[in-house]
């Protein structure tokens, strides 16, 4: 191990990051081009697969409707994400205080997590009302809860024995051990779970919306357009929901960099 000069991510870091993204952008453009030419060359019917240009046109036409539909979807996703994450972290904090209990609880949670939680969507619609935002956010929250809970508990419990001994030698109280050692130790675990959670929350909300609800919602819009059938419009909605998931993932990643500056080293090596 040698001394490394202190480096903050300044302009050079940003530029190298941009350079690293170039291949991704090129690949995306190539794939879109391929998609467009296959659809045009083989005259693929719209109900099978519309071309990117058609989807873009549909998006432009229905821009206002799609945006207002996205708004309530985004709200449900955020609400579900926040509820699920806070719940997961809170329960993990409680469970980690009783290490003997945490094993069985954790295993049960892993089992439940294997079940298709999204199947609960009709039940939640029944509980909270099909038009209620809570029925959509609820499904997302339950889907987010399990990975966050499982990962956070692991992070809270997997601490270096040496660190525990140092806190012991300082006569730290259990609350201090939790706040100063266990929680920061769990942060990388929590962020990994949150990244998983953003995707899950979008899936949970969109699928719940397929089962009905206020028409101002992305899932309802997609299902409705597909039934009409206006598949180019349905695809526009699908791509927007994809972009939504990606954007949320990006926000969590930024938050991670901001809250865990010490992990800069790992970030650099990762990519």
Partner 1 sequence: MAEHAIISVRGVDKVFNSGSDRAVTALQDIDLTIGRGEFISLLGPSGCGKSTLLRVMADLTGPTSGTVTVNGKTPGAARADRDYGMVFQQAGLFEWRNVLRNVELPLQVAGVKKEVHRAKALEMLELVRLSDFAGHYPWQLSGGMQQRVAIARALSADPEILFMDEPLGALDEMNRERLQGELLRIWGDTRTTVVFVTHSISEAVFLSSRVVVMSARPGRVAACIDVDLPHPRTAETRTTPEFFEKVKEVRQALHGAPSEQAAA
Q: Tell me which residues touch partner 1 (CB under 8 A).
A: 1-4, 6, 160, 162-163, 165-172, 176, 180-181, 184-185, 187, 260-262, 264-265
- Minimum distance, C-beta of residue 198 to partner 1, in the bound complex (Å): 23
Give the helix/strand (H/E) hosting 16: helix 11-41
Smallest distance, Å, CB 95 to partner 1? 22
State the minimum distance, in angstroms, from the CB of residue 171 to partner 1: 5
Please list, in sequence order, all residues whose beta carbon lies within 8 angstroms of the beta carbon of residue 238, skipping any fewer than 6 positions away.
222
In whole angstroms, how far apart are CA 34 and each of 30, 83, 177?
Answer: 6, 41, 55
What are the φ/ψ torsions at residue 247 (nearest 5 degrees)?
-65, -45
The position carrying tokens 């609350």 is 175
Q: How many residues does the chain have?
A: 271
- Residue placing its CB nearer to partner 1 in the complex, 90 or 166: 166
Cβ atoms within 10 Å, residue 216: 14
Nearer to partner 1, 88 or 155 (CB): 155
Residue 88: CB minimum distance to partner 1, A: 20
Q: Which is nearer to partner 1, 99 or 168 (CB)?
A: 168
Q: Is 96:182 a contact under the CB 8 Å cutoff?
A: yes
H helix or E strand, kind and range, residue 237: helix 231-259
CB-nearer residue toward partner 1: 57 or 264: 264
Compute the least distance from the CB of residue 238 to partner 1, in Å: 40
Residues 6+ apart with CB under 8 A from 59: 66, 236, 239, 240
Separation between Cα atoms, residue 93 and residue 144, nearest integer Å: 16
Q: Is 4 helix (H, G, I), strand (E, B) or coil?
A: coil
Tell me whether residue 158 or residue 165 sits nearer to partner 1 (CB atom). 165
CB of 144 to partner 1, least distance (A): 24
Nearer to partner 1, 136 or 182 (CB): 182
């Amino acid at each position: 191990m040698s001394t490394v000069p202190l480096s903050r991510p300044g302009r050079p870091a940003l530029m190298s990051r941009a350079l690293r993204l170039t291949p991704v952008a090129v690949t995306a453009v190539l794939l879109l081009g391929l998609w467009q030419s296959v659809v045009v060359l083989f005259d693929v019917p719209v109900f099978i697969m519309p071309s990117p240009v058609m989807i873009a046109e549909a998006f432009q036409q229905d821009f206002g409707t799609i945006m207002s539909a996205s708004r309530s979807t985004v709200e449900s996703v955020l609400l579900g994400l926040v509820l699920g994450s806070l719940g997961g972290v809170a329960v993990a904090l409680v469970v980690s205080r009783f290490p003997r209990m945490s094993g069985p609880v954790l295993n049960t949670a892993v089992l439940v997590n294997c079940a298709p939680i999204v199947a609960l969507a009709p039940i939640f619609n029944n509980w909270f009302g099909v038009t209620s935002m809570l029925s959509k956010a609820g499904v997302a929250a339950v889907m987010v809860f399990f990975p966050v809970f499982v990962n956070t508990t692991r992070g809270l419990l997997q601490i270096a024995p040496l660190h525990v001994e140092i806190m012991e030698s300082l006569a730290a109280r259990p609350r201090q051990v939790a706040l100063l050692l266990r929680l920061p130790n769990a942060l990388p675990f929590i962020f990994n779970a949150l990244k998983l959670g953003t995707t899950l929350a979008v899936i949970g909300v969109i699928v719940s919306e397929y089962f009905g609800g206020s028409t101002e919602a992305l899932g309802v819009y997609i299902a409705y357009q597909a039934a009409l059938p206006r598949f180019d419009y349905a695809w526009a909605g699908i791509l927007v929901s994809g972009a939504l998931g990606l954007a949320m993932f990006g926000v969590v990643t930024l938050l991670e960099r901001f809250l865990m500056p010490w992990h800069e080293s790992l970030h650099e090596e990762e990519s």
